[in-house]
Structure 1
Amino acid sequence: MNFFRVLLSIICPPLAVLDKGCGSIFIVFLLWLCGWVPGIIAALIILNNPKR
């Protein structure tokens, strides 16, 4: 997880997880619509997952 991805997840979380798959983008987008903070948290969790 580099600085650019963290900054992008704060500004626009769905763009930060663009290469992680359609399901991740959809989940982060829905959480981002519900509130800015849940979208950021979900994006950071997905980006911090070493398995993907």
Structure 2
Amino acid sequence: MTEQEEIQPWYRHFYVWLVIALLGFAVSASLYTVYLAHKTAEPVLPEYQDRQ
């Protein structure tokens, strides 16, 4: 008989969790950027608004 290596489930692999963590970090950073953009939005200047 030949010896076969046991195949590990996907959640036991380090690289799967690394990719998931990187994607989660990217989503979190994007949401935080949107939050900051809305929180610190500068109002339209009256001079610029009058030009249009």
TM-score by length of 2: 0.33
TM-score by length of 1: 0.33
Greater relative contact order (Cα 8 A, min sep 6): structure 1 or 2? 1
Q: Which of these two proteins has the greater Rg computed from alpha carbons?
A: 2
